[in-house]
Amino acid sequence: MAIQLQDFEFERVLDENPYFRCLNVLGTLPASSVSSSIASLPGSTPNDRLPAILRLERTPFPLTLPQEFSSGVLENTKCLASTDIYTRINGWLKRRDDLPDLRINVICPATDVHIRKYSKQDVLMVHETPALYETVVKPYIEAFPPSRTQWVRNILDGISESESLLHSTDEFLILPDMKWDPTTSPLTALYLLALVRDPSIRSMRDLHGGDGGHLPLLKAIRDAAHSVVERKYGLERGSVRLYVHYQPSYYHFHVHIVHASQSGIMGMTVGQAHLLDDIISLLTVAPDILSSITLTYGLGSQHGLYEPMVAAQGNVA
């Protein structure tokens, strides 16, 4: 059942980012319009309203747009200022079915974890020792119910997104990430995702080299990613950047595959993004290194790990 956005009741703005042209808002949607969610909420009825997050993002301009100025693609313009060789103009595009103004991602029902994640927050650099991982982070990960990654399971089981698959094996699959719409976004905005089938690998802390380790899997993902982007999009090897997040957005191991020309993506922040090639090299040299080193990364104040990790920082040597 398609979600009807006219049924959305606004509550408050969670975050806005002028640089990335996006806005996160919180509100509610009727349970009757989110059929898949009713079963996951005991006692819910079609008359209930469920918490919902809308992430509104301006879509990229097609490269052909400037060529269409003379054909009337602009409905109206207004000159703001002009001095010497510089002029600033506001413009309004005509409505076109092939050129949407917004991309809207909906999370419903949104949990408190979702609301915190998409809220504006301060960031603190923390030092996660192996001991802190075992005593703070690992219990936090293990406390998540399976329902939090059910959407991943649905993709892996072929229940959803099956028509979008670009590559599939017994160990992993590759498909476009929800952040990238191939029909409206340029190729330089390419964003794919490799999802591993093994649920026991929750983050890069679980990766090991050596006999029976994960190096064959990681190398297979790397090779498949390069093969897919060359076959499907004509991009030569070296045209994409493969990396892993820590902390990840969800605890089911996955690899991000983005165009190498992309810059300014929030997920490529130093400390959060770890290049897949570097991970492979580290595990080749020292098979257990990812479980035995201190990882330093930024943690948002709304993250569930923020308070326990901040409290523990005084004990980090």
Annotated binding site for substrate: 151, 161, 177, 179, 245-256
**Closest to 239 measured CA to CA, from 220, 263, 267, 258:** 258
Q: How far apart are CA 298 and CA 271, in angstroms?
A: 7
**Closest to 284 measured CA to CA, from 219, 212, 217, 209:** 209
DSSP character for 203? Answer: S
Q: Which residues of 223-308 form beta strands (DSSP E)? A: 240-245, 254-259, 273-275, 295-300
Question: Could you tell me which residues are annotated as the binding site?
Answer: 151, 161, 177, 179, 245-256
CA 23 vs CA 17, 275, 286, 301: distances in Å: 6, 28, 43, 19
Q: How far apart are CA 275 and CA 278, in angstroms?
A: 5
Q: Which residues of the chain form beta strands (DSSP E)? A: 9-17, 22-30, 49-58, 74-83, 86-93, 102-107, 123-128, 167-168, 172-176, 191-196, 240-245, 254-259, 273-275, 295-300
Q: Which is the catalytic residue, given 114, 214, 226, 254?
A: 254
Burial class (CB in 10 A: 0-12, 13-18, 19+), 257: buried
254 in catalytic set: yes
Q: Which residues are catalytic?
A: 254
